[in-house]
Structure 1
Amino acid sequence: MSVLDPRPLGSTPLVVSPITLGASSLGNPERSPADPVALAEEMLDAPFAVVDTSNNYAGGASETALGRALEARGGLTDGHSIVTKVDVGPDGRFDRDRVWRSFEESVERLGIERFPLVHLHDPWATTVEEASAPGGAIQGMVELREQGLVGSIGIAVGEISLETAYVRTGVFDALLTHNRFTLVDRRAEELIAEANERGMGVFNAAPFGGGLLAGASTRYAYREAPADLLAWLGRLRGLCAEWGLAVPAAALHFSLRHAGIHSTVVGVGRPERIRELEKLHATAIPDDFWPEVEKLGTPPSTIDD
């Protein structure tokens, strides 16, 4: 299947679509009851250019399912890519050696020897100073890029202050933020602008806040939404009804319309979700709708970082 609306990821060579399919639920039966390999094949056949996974998603089962799907299909089709992330080790270490081992584990599971992009993922087990020192995680990331095993390196973490510190090292080519630029929370806006100024590629993940804006749960960013946030959401639903729009369509397009976001990452746990995303992407949102959203006032957030 041809790739939908291909565009470069910032200054990197990676080509992305407006939507990237997230594989965090793939292989986790509690979050995705679908057959993982069959779902992985559908994700790889979708009109979206990139599938985003990680070393630790579903304890490695996400990468394993994708690897089996790749083997069954004979590899990736033109225009499609898999992006993964290196993660902390089971011993809690996240240094240069762990970066390399995490990368090697991903190579083993996926059967891919070179990735267009690999992110340093949730480096909470180390400080930025430790990661930047000789033998630190950043050294490992730079070595992977210098040796041609990855095309570009990125930083993927939730907390804005931590992510900003990594961006300002000047080492990374891409940024992945999540739950921090949605209809409910805009705190990543300045960081996205700074990444753009540096020529970095920008992924914005979780435009539905983990389910709240998709109507799938009452949780936002892994926490139960308080009463004032649910009240704000009720006003948003009323506004969307007036305009004949679904809240999920508004939530997705809030991210898609931002010129500084190159691709929006949406998790997929079932095959029909891919078709739903195609329909949401095709939904036309009038420009006059967005000023009306702003009139609802600043939404309360569950995030306090």
Structure 2
Amino acid sequence: MQKRSVGKSDLRVTPLCFGASGLSNMPDTYGYEVDEARARDTLRAIFDGPVNFLDTSNNYGFGRSEERIGAALRERGGLPEGFVLSTKLDRDMETGRFDAARVRRSIDESLSRLGLDHVPLLHLHDPEHARDLGEITGTGGALDELFKLKEEGIASAVGLAMGRIDVMLPILRERPFDALISHNRFTVLNRSAHEMFDYAHSRGIAILNAAPYAGGVLAKGSAQMPRITYQPATEATMKPVKAVEDICASAGIDPGALALQFSMRDPRVTSTIVGVSKAARVAQTLNWASQDIDPAVWTQLDTLPFSSEDPEADRDYKPG
């Protein structure tokens, strides 16, 4: 696979990135469980494949995702050369504290679980859920500490990973981030990140677009997974999904392929993050990324309505 630069850093990543939140066993979010053996097989498939990019976070499964990745890395003798591992700093999940001291605690926890002394890419994660945004953005706060970690060589590049665009874009404008992660907000169903992507692209910030399947429904299908962005769907909210499925059925293609390539074909997007929780999904993702899609299908897709509202505004958020 070709590789692209992460902002102005020396990191180069494939246009696909695998996300490891599901590997941590988060049934409240995804609706299914993932045991150790399944996680191990999935990670082996990732590291044996052509994708050189894996994303996780301190709080995925309250640390279980990083622990499982760390075990896989030990099995291989460390992080493979040229492989880019991304993780995230997280607030204290009990108190919501996200100050400079918590940043240091978070990275220490992550490095210990992963068995590493530095990470290629490090993001500050979900500041909108912390107890005090000023604790993060103020002088001597979490963001200052994030950039110190880059200066110290603990991270090669740094980014911002979060949901709410109204909080995220002002922060992006204030600091020289190498990358951003946005999820569920640039899909065939929702384009609320469009303005932010324009800004980031103009500033040379690498755009890592996560959750192209709107939480999984575009990959698994509306019949099997009647949920959108991790929330139970109604007949009305499922209508746009079924419209996409109808177009794909007429064209003889998988809705997952259309959803994935919608993100991958956008010239602003550096890499698309796809969550996987079993080895078969790794192979399926690679297949969908290369599936031929007739240009007429994209023309049809352009005729469908899409939302520009926050897709998670009514989400019942359950951390970990």
The 5 Å alignment of 1:17-28 reads: 17-28=14-25
CA deviation vs aligned residue, 1:33-72 (integer Å, no higher than 9, x gap): 4613343232222211111010011111111111111111
- Cα shift at 1:295: 1.4
Q: Note the C-alpha offset of 1:266.
A: 0.6
Unaligned runs of 5+ in 2: 28-32, 314-320
**Is 1:256–2:261 an aligned residue pair?**
no
Map of 2:74 onto structure 1: 71
Structure 1 length normalisation: TM-score? 0.93
Find the residue that maps to 1:203 and give its secondary structure: strand
Q: Deviation at 1:217?
A: 1.3
For residues 168 and 118 of structure 1, what CA distance do their matches in structure 2 show?
A: 18
Corresponding residue of 2:13: 16
Cα pair distance change 1:154/1:135, threshold 3 Å: same
SS in structure 1 at match of 2:86 = strand
1:231-242 alignment runs, 5 A limit: 231-242=239-250
Cα distance change of structure 1 residues 87 and 302 upon mapping to structure 2, 3 Å threshold: closer
Please give the alpha-carbon distance, in whole angstroms, between the structure 2 residues aligned to 1:128 and 1:153. 19
2:88 aligns to what SS in structure 1? strand
Question: SS at the partner of 1:211?
Answer: helix
Are positions 1:225 and 2:233 aligned together?
yes
For residues 112-132 of structure 1, the C-alpha deviation after alignment (integer angstroms, 9 at most, x for no partner) is 111111000001215443322
C-alpha distance in structure 2 between counterparts of 1:23 and 1:125, whole Å: 22
Is 1:80 the counterpart of 2:86 in the alignment?
Answer: no
Gap regions ≥5 residues in structure 1: none
1:291 shift after superposition: 1.7
How far apart in 2 are the matches of 1:78 and 1:7?
16
Cα offsets for 1:149-191 (capped at 9, x unmatched): 1111110001111111221112322110000000110010110
Cα distance in 2 for residues equivalent to 1:34 and 1:302: 34
2:122 counterpart residue number:
118
Displacement after TM superposition at 1:25 (Å):
1.4
| Aligned residues between the structures | 302
Aligned to 2:298: 290
Which deviates further from its counterpart, 25-34 or 101-110?
25-34
| Contact kept? 2:96, 2:131, Cα under 8 Å | no
* TM-score under structure 2 length normalisation: 0.89
2:316 — aligned with what? Answer: none
**Deviation by residue 1:206-227 (Cα, 9 ceiling, x = unmatched):** 0001111111512111222232
Aligned 8 A contact 2:158 2:179 in 1? yes
Which of the two has greater helix per residue?
Answer: 2
**What amino acid does structure 2 have at the position aligned with 1:25?**
G
> Equivalents in 2 of 1:295, 1:201: separation in Å?
29
Amino acid at match of 2:111: V
Q: Once the 2 structures are TM-superposed, how far is the Cα of residue 301 of structure 1 from its aligned partner?
A: 6.6
Answering whether residue 75 of structure 2 is matched by residue 41 of structure 1, we say: no
CA distance in 2, matches of 1:226, 1:238: 18
The 1:235–1:300 alpha-carbon spacing in structure 2 relative to 1, beyond 3 Å, is: farther
Give the aligned CA root-mean-square deviation in angstroms: 1.8
CA contact (8 A) 1:53 1:85 kept: yes
Aligned match of 2:157 in 152, 155, 158? 152
Residue 32 (1) aligns with residue 34 (2): yes
Residue aligning to 2:193 = 188
